[in-house]
Every structure is written in structure tokens, then in C-alpha cells.
Amino acid sequence: MTSIPVPFRHEGRVAAAWLDYNGHMNVAYYVMALDRAVDEVYDALGLGRAYAERAGRSMFAVGMDIDWLRELRGDETYVIETRLLDCDDKRLHYHQQMFRASDGACAARATWLAIHVDLEARRAVPFPPDRLAVVRDAVLRHAVLPRPAGLDRRLKPRRPFLGPRPR
């Protein structure tokens, strides 16, 4: 079996085309960068493009919770760390943190849920036994990492915007 990094690490650079009119990376490109990083995770787990083409199965994201914490500006380098949190016979739960390489500040964090899908039937199906063993082993290896910040947060204001509401 291939060596599983703990955590997975991906490095990238903010492209000029990713900047919005505020002069920083647009929110959509954070998601794209995080998604590209997870493609490398899927490759390492044997669930990437080659697997999809050979087996007719792939991973689909079904949910994501993201926090944008700091700006990334043009041409800045970033590092994304991906930590596998949990799995079952057809789902994978993972967390990512994107750091500015210049100062290590966390620019974004996201938690995802993905399912294993039969590409012909377009339905969730269990991982084959050999892939499930690799995924489970990777999740167990990642279990030694500290619990990521923000996992249990709920998106809401700290105080009501308009004060108490009449009942």
C-alpha cells in the first residue's frame, strides 16, 4: 500500500484570474482550490480519475461547510491540509484548512461529506473491499491529529441583528 500522508498537503498559488473587484481571491476559487487538493487525496486512496475511468465509480461531494477567515491576494502561495475524519462503507467525511504560506494564517477551513457513486447508475454504492480497507486505514492514521477548529460550529450571528423578535 502507498504511504498515506498525515495530513495530506497540497501547495498552490493564487492566480490573477481568481481575484475579484475587492482585490482578493473570490470565494468560489477557495472552493476550487480545496477541491483540487482533495483530488490528490482521492488519487492517493486509489479513488481518483484513473479509478473512475477503470471502475466506473467515483466520489461525489454531497455537502460542505466552509469558513473564509483571511484574505488571499494575487500571487500568494497557500498550503492546504486535508484530514480524514470518518468513513463508512460508502461515505467519507474530511476537513481541510487552507493556510497562507507567508505567515501560516488560516485563510479558510471546510468540512465535507462525500459519497462513493456508481457512475452509470448515478447512485451511491459501497466501496469495493480493497478501497474500503485503504480508506479505513487512512482515517485511522489521521485519527491521531488534533480535532480541527470549527467542526461543530453553526452559522449564526453572535447576537440578533435586530434585537428580540415579537412573539
Q: Which residue has the cell 477548529?
A: 149
- pLDDT of amino acid 150: 80
- pLDDT of amino acid 103: 97
pLDDT by position in tens, the chain (length 167): 458 999 999 999 999 999 999 999 999 999 999 999 999 999 999 999 999 999 999 999 999 999 999 999 999 999 999 999 999 999 999 999 999 999 999 999 999 999 999 999 999 999 999 999 999 999 999 999 999 888 877 766 676 666 666 66
The CA-atom distances, in angstroms, between 124 and each of 60, 63, 73, 92, 115 are 9, 14, 38, 12, 6
Q: Is the pTM of this model over 0.85?
A: yes
- pLDDT of amino acid 161: 66
- pLDDT of amino acid 142: 97
Residue 166 burial (C-beta neighbours within 10 Å; 0-12, 13-18, 19+):
exposed
Instruction: Please count the helices (runs of H) and the strands (runs of E) in the chain.
Output: 3, 6
- pLDDT of amino acid 151: 84
Set out the domains of the chain in order of their start, with CATH numbers: 8-142 (3.10.129.10)
The phi-psi region of residue 138 (left if phi > 0; otherwise alpha if psi is between -120 and 50; otherwise beta) is: alpha
CA distance 147 to 67: 16
